[in-house]
Amino acid sequence: MNAEQFFNQKTILDLSFFNFRNAITAAYFANRDLQIQRVNENFRKFFPILGNVTNASMPDVLEQLGVSGDQIDLYRDELNTKGSVLLPKVEISVDGATRIFSLLSAHTSDKDFSYLNGVQGQFVDRTVEWELRRQHDALLSQKVKDRELIEEKSRQLESLANRLAKYLSPQIYSSIFSETEDSSHTHKRKNLTVFFSDIVQFTDLSDTLEPERLAVVINSYLSEMTNVALEFGGTIDKFIGDAVLVFFGDPESQGDFEDALRCVEMALRMQERITALQGYWKKNGVPNGLRVRMGVATGYCTVGNFGSDQRLDYTVLGRPVNLAARLQELAEPGKILTDQNTLSLINKHVRSELKGAFIPKGFAREVSYFEISDLAETTTRKRERELSHVGERVEVNVLDSSDIRAAIEELAEIQKRFEKQLINSTNEK
C-alpha cells in the first residue's frame, strides 16, 4: 500500500499548487499527457478568452492563444527530450493588444504521489521589458543613424570649408572659423597698407586669345601672385578680373612699419616672378608676355564685412584703396608706385625716386608719388626682422643691433621694473 491511497487526490493537487495560486505569473499544472489540471487566478486573468481549461491539452491551449506551430512543436519536443523548455518570447493577443510572455515549463516527479508527475509551468508577462528593450534598441539604432548623419554632415562641411577656403584669404578664413560669435556686421578703422595691381592691355589680350589659353595664362598669373602675397602675410581682398587687391594690417598686423615694408617687398617679389614667367606666357600665346603696373598706399581704412544678409564681402574701404588704384594707373608697365605715407615708414629700407605729384579724384590736396626700384639692404632687412617681436601684449624692436647683449640686459631691467610695479600694485590693494 502506498501513500497516495490514504490522501484525496484533489486535496494533494491543491496543496502542491498552493504556492502558485497567488503568483504574479500565469501558472499551470498538467499531467504527463499535457492535460491541464490546475491554473492559478492570474492564468484566467491573463487569458480570459480561454474560459475553463481543465483537462484541455496544453498544446491546444497554446494554439488557441495564437502561438506559432514552430513554438508549439519546440515546447513539446524539448519537454520530451530535455524535461524542460523555455520559450523566451511568445507573442499573444490579449484584448486586441499584443503582449509578450516567456513560457517556462518542466517535468515534475514525485515518488509518493503519481498524479503529481506531470508538467508545471508559468507564463511571465514581459511586455513592458520587451517594450523598453525595443525603445532601447530604437534609440541605439537612432544613435547610430545620428552618428552616421553627423559624420556625413561633417564630411560635407569639411568639403565645403575646403572649397570655401579657395575663395577666401587664409587670414580671413581663419578669422571667420575661429570666432564663436557672429561678427557678420563688424567694421573697424585701421591703418593699412593697400596694394593694387593690373595687367597692361589685358582687355585686348582677352579679346584676341582663345578662352582656354586665356584661362591658362590668367590662372597661372593669379596663382603666382597669390603665392607671393601669402608668403609675405598679405590679406587677399579680391581679384577683379586681372586686377589684384591685397592689404596688410588686418586681421593680423605686424605694426605699421612691418606691414608697409612687407607690402613693398611683396610687390618687388611679384615683379620678379612676372619677369621669370614671361617665357611660359609667350609659349601660351602671349607674344609680348605680361606687363603689370602696381600701386601701394598707406592710411586709415574701414575694414570688415560689407553687404547684405544674403551675401557679405570681407573687404576694405577708404581713400588709401582709391589712391593705390590711381597710383597703379600712373605707374609704367613693370613698375611700382607708392605714396608719401608708405615711403615715410620705409624710406631708409628701399630705393625710391620721386616721380611727380597729382590730385586724385576725390582728394582735396596734391599727392606726391614715388617709384620703388628695390630694397636698400636685403641683409640688414633680414637681421632686423629676426630682432623684432610682436606679441599679443608686447611689441619689441631692437633699435641698435650692434650690441645684442646690451639689448638683452635692457630687457631684463625692464622685466625687473615691471615686476616691482606689479608687487607694489598688489600690496596697495
Which DSSP symbol is given to 332? P
Q: In this structure, what are the phi and psi dihedrals at residue 105, rounded to the nearest 5 degrees? A: -140, 150
Sequence ranges of the domains in the chain: 3-125, 187-387, 398-429
pLDDT above 90 covers what percent of the chain? 37
Mean pLDDT of 15-27: 71
Q: Is the pLDDT of residue 396 over 80?
A: no
Higher pLDDT, 425 or 33: 33
pLDDT tens for 151-186 read: 887 777 776 666 655 555 566 656 655 655 555 557
pLDDT tens for 22-55 read: 778 888 888 889 998 888 888 888 888 888 888 8
- Block residue for cell numbers 607694489: 424
Greatest mean pLDDT range, 206-210, 385-389, 390-394, 395-399? 206-210
User: 187-387 has which CATH code?
Assistant: 3.30.70.1230
pLDDT tens for 80-89 read: 999 999 999 9
Contacts for 322 with CB less than 8 Å, ≥ 6 apart: 360, 361, 362
Specify the fold of 3-125. Answer: Beta-Lactamase (3.30.450)
Distance of alpha carbon 97 from alpha carbon 156, whole angstroms = 45
Least confident of 93-102, 373-382, 393-402: 393-402
Burial class (CB in 10 A: 0-12, 13-18, 19+), 331: buried
Q: How far is CA 134 from CA 68, 92, 126, in A?
A: 21, 17, 12
DSSP output for 260-296: HHHHHHHHHHHHHHHHHTHHHHHHTT-TT---EEEEE
pLDDT tens for 133-154 read: 889 999 998 888 888 888 887 7
Higher pLDDT, 2 or 121: 121
User: What pLDDT does 166 receive?
Assistant: 56
- The per-residue pLDDT of the chain, averaged, comes to 83
Q: Is the pLDDT of residue 3 over 90?
A: no
Q: Is the pLDDT of residue 97 over 80?
A: yes
pLDDT above 70 covers what percent of the chain? 82
Contacts for 323 with CB less than 8 Å, ≥ 6 apart: 194, 295, 297, 299, 339, 360, 363, 367
Higher pLDDT, 273 or 305: 273
CB 198 within 8 A of CB 328: yes
Q: Is the pLDDT of residue 399 over 50?
A: no
Distance of alpha carbon 298 from alpha carbon 372, whole angstroms = 15
Distance of alpha carbon 388 from alpha carbon 423, whole angstroms = 28
Q: Is the pLDDT of residue 333 over 50?
A: yes
The three-state secondary structure class of 126 is: coil
Distance of alpha carbon 180 from alpha carbon 317, whole angstroms = 25
Least confident of 32-46, 96-110, 177-191, 234-248: 177-191
Which DSSP symbol is given to 35? B
Calculate helix-pair angle for 256-276, 211-231, nearest 10 degrees.
140
